[in-house]
Amino acid sequence: MNEAPSFSPVCPTPDKPGETVELGHGSGGRLTHDLIESVFRPAFAHCETDLTHDGAELEIGGARLAFTTDSYVVQPLFFPGGDIGTLAVNGTVNDLAMCGARPLALSCGFVIEEGYPLAELRRVAHSMQAAASATGVRLVAGDTKVVERGKGDGLYINTSGVGEIVAPLPVAPGRVRPGDAILLSGDIGRHGMAVMSAREDLGFDPPILSDCAALHSPVLRLIEEGIDIHCLRDCTRGGLATALIEIARSAGLAMKIEQNAVPVSEPVRGACEILGLDPLYVANEGRFVAILPGEQAEAALSVLRDFEQNAALIGMVEAGPEAVSLRTIGGSYALDFLSCEQLPRIC
Amino acid sequence: MNEAPSFSPVCPTPDKPGETVELGHGSGGRLTHDLIESVFRPAFAHCETDLTHDGAELEIGGARLAFTTDSYVVQPLFFPGGDIGTLAVNGTVNDLAMCGARPLALSCGFVIEEGYPLAELRRVAHSMQAAASATGVRLVAGDTKVVERGKGDGLYINTSGVGEIVAPLPVAPGRVRPGDAILLSGDIGRHGMAVMSAREDLGFDPPILSDCAALHSPVLRLIEEGIDIHCLRDCTRGGLATALIEIARSAGLAMKIEQNAVPVSEPVRGACEILGLDPLYVANEGRFVAILPGEQAEAALSVLRDFEQNAALIGMVEAGPEAVSLRTIGGSYALDFLSCEQLPRIC
């Protein structure tokens, strides 16, 4: 589990003289952070953008709003358990939920490649409508652009979202404290493995289904139950490990994670072993980490288990230098960002 | 001016048996409307989406919000008078302004093709920052995805925007009335011609610069001056003609436009003649139509001329079947959506 992934990683060529964008810049890992720091932060420095987070908090006319954006370039467009449409709705609903917000409205921007079958576009539109209805969120604004053959890959979708923040106190890494409990909302690695199985025609039996789902209901229940959520993060690109590392760095604190406590289903574990992947770094689309006061861990876990039976307390926050360490049977290992792209275009 | 455009139009093959997306579906004209009606409206029917308009009005916690989205796929990425970054900021600022809103915050979603030069990405990011600063809008949320070589075209950007609606009454086609004046905020056709000159290396002398600019200031001034704006529409894809036809259809009213009153600069007129294009259908990125009570036309025009000297009263709304007619020296002509794509990827 602590081995470097060996399945066709797409690494940047380190000695390349010309600076260009590489696939790894879209990984959500180290190169994405490099891109943000070297390109976007200098340009957007005066705009107060929190560039490491998809979501922003706005106060408009007395209302506390969350505003988020995400572009979806998953390949293939249809995979076991979902498609780019379900992903585009649920993913942005989840970005809003991770701000402690009730999702209200989404916009949809389509970039379609010339020649894309209208029948597939209809399927995707219906998936979006079904996901929106299930979530109670409205699709309120749209835009369609078409690009020439060979200038796209079927379909890219951007969804941006607006929600009303209902958490009474800020939900942000800055509120994480030593002694906080780290809860995980369910088993990990299913989305990444489902997409890989479809992309590489791996034909797992039984098939591994994506965990793609909206996460606002458990978050809103935690808030209703009076849990003082300090921080939330969905475990998408880069998986659980990347989410934890980002929070630890932003909070300037240490996290101790128990490997045995992290739920991984047998099919996912087996598939990861075959492919040489570490489930900790595999993308999820329906799992999140909640960090909250240790004394509320039990009550919070009971809420999360109403939604996913294998939600778990996976570790604790401690004082000390920012770091995430994983305790295994064989010892403790520091988790770090992957330096290259393990599974490109997973979302 | 009333001839069909003859410069390399990209028309769908009418007898094609398989239904696929064609470039014309992104034109903003007839095929875009067909796509919306045949694919998106059936799927999104229960979502109250106003699919013919980029912007939506939301009421959240007592605040009246406008929420809009637009994806930018302009080619080339840099053109006389701007680049995809200025376009992405100003275009979405304008969508908000057209809702009668004060633009407040934008999100940015980047889809970058592997191999795109980081130096160019930095230029675009700085353009976005400069445009945002000039407008007073904040870039608050971002997302970056990278796709493989040959699956994109350098850079696509989605910006979505949130603003606070300050117009006291709704700004929408439903409020247009017979007797309303139709004002145009400046001369038309510059953006389309600037992009075409860069794309085809036409080298006009002097160069035609895009009119790409933020339009919130004149709109907010109209509102401050007590003008009862009935409807606003920026004249982007499909140009002035398409904007007017859309409004006339939504309002179910007739519009009479005086060709002589529509300002077109000599360089744009000359370039359009050479290329066989009708300036009425050429894209703008800094021009809008304002429809308001006839008795306020003079006051409104005076405001618009503080910003663009050649703002003009171009026509009137009349009772009668929905139609836009253009009065020229030679007679009156009905304007209709173009059935094919005149200038693909203009924004």
**Contact yes or no for A191/A90 (Cβ under 8 A):** no
**pLDDT exceeds 70 at position B54:** no
Touching check for A52 and chain B: CB below 8 Å? no
Q: Which of B121, B122, B149, B345 to mutate to test the interface with A (most CBs of A within 10 A)?
A: B121
Whole-number percent of chain B with pLDDT over 70: 92
H-assigned helices in chain B:
30-35, 41-44, 84-97, 118-135, 190-199, 216-224, 239-251, 266-275, 297-307
- Give the pairing of strands B63-72 and B155-165: antiparallel
**pLDDT exceeds 60 at position B47:** no
Tell me which residues of chain A have a pLDDT lower than 70: 1-17, 45-54
Task: Taking residues B267-290, report their average pLDDT.
Answer: 95
**pLDDT exceeds 90 at position B6:** no
Touching check for B261 and chain A: CB below 8 Å? no
**pLDDT exceeds 60 at position B138:** yes
Smallest Cβ–Cβ distance between B151 and the set A69, A119, A153 belongs to A153
In the numeric block, which tokens belong to residue A227?
A: 């849990």
Q: CA of A83, closest CA in chain B: separation in Å?
A: 15
Q: Which of B35, B57, B73, B87 to mutate to test the interface with A (most CBs of A within 10 A)?
A: B73
Smallest Cβ–Cβ distance between B20 and the set A24, A61, A115 belongs to A115
Smallest Cβ–Cβ distance between B125 and the set A39, A119, A122 belongs to A39
So what's the pLDDT on residue B53? Answer: 58
Task: Taking residues B287-314, report their average pLDDT.
Answer: 98
**pLDDT exceeds 60 at position B16:** no
Touching check for A41 and chain B: CB below 8 Å? no
Touching check for A56 and chain B: CB below 8 Å? yes
Residues of chain A contacting residue B18, judged by C-beta atoms under 8 Å apart:
117
Q: CA of A52, closest CA in chain B: separation in Å?
A: 8
H-assigned helices in B107-231:
118-135, 190-199, 216-224
So what's the pLDDT on residue B63? Answer: 87
**pLDDT exceeds 50 at position B135:** yes
Residues of chain A contacting residue B50, judged by C-beta atoms under 8 Å apart:
140-141
List Cβ neighbours of B330 (8 Å cut-off, separation of 6 or more). none
What residues are paired with A65 via a beta bridge? A58, A164
> Cis (ω within 30 of 0) for the bond into B76?
yes
B74-129 confidence digits (pLDDT tens):
999 999 999 999 999 999 999 999 999 999 999 999 999 999 999 999 999 999 99
B3 burial type by CB count under 10 A (0-12 exposed, 13-18 middle, 19+ buried): exposed
Smallest Cβ–Cβ distance between A63 and the set B50, B61, B108 belongs to B61
Measured distance CA(A285)–CA(B13) in Å, rounded: 40
So what's the pLDDT on residue A320? Answer: 87
Touching check for B68 and chain A: CB below 8 Å? yes
Instruction: Give the start-end residues of each E strand in chain B.
Output: 55-60, 63-72, 78-79, 82-83, 101-113, 138-147, 155-165, 180-184, 231-234, 254-258, 288-293, 312-318, 323-328, 331-335
Interchain CB distance below 8 Å, B21 and A146: yes
Q: Which of residues 107-166 of B touch A (CB under 8 A)?
A: 107-119, 121-122, 125-126, 128-129, 132-133, 138-148, 150-153, 156, 158, 160, 162, 164
- Grade residue B254 by pLDDT with cuts at 50, 70 and 90: very high
Touching check for A17 and chain B: CB below 8 Å? no
Smallest Cβ–Cβ distance between A49 and the set B35, B73, B139 belongs to B139
Q: Which residue of A has its CA nearest to B19?
A: A118
Q: CA of B64, closest CA in chain A: separation in Å?
A: 8
**ipTM > 0.95, yes or no:** no
Q: Which residue of B has its CA nearest to A71?
A: B109
Q: CA of A330, closest CA in chain B: separation in Å?
A: 36
Q: Which of B83, B138, B146, B153 to mutate to test the interface with A (most CBs of A within 10 A)?
A: B146
- pTM to 2 decimals? 0.93
What residue ranges define each of the domains in chain B, with the CATH number in brackets? Answer: 55-165 (3.30.1330.10), 173-335 (3.90.650.10)
Residues of chain B contacting residue A36, judged by C-beta atoms under 8 Å apart:
144
Q: Which of B77, B158, B164, B346 to mutate to test the interface with A (most CBs of A within 10 A)?
A: B158
Interchain CB distance below 8 Å, A116 and B21: yes
B36 burial type by CB count under 10 A (0-12 exposed, 13-18 middle, 19+ buried): middle
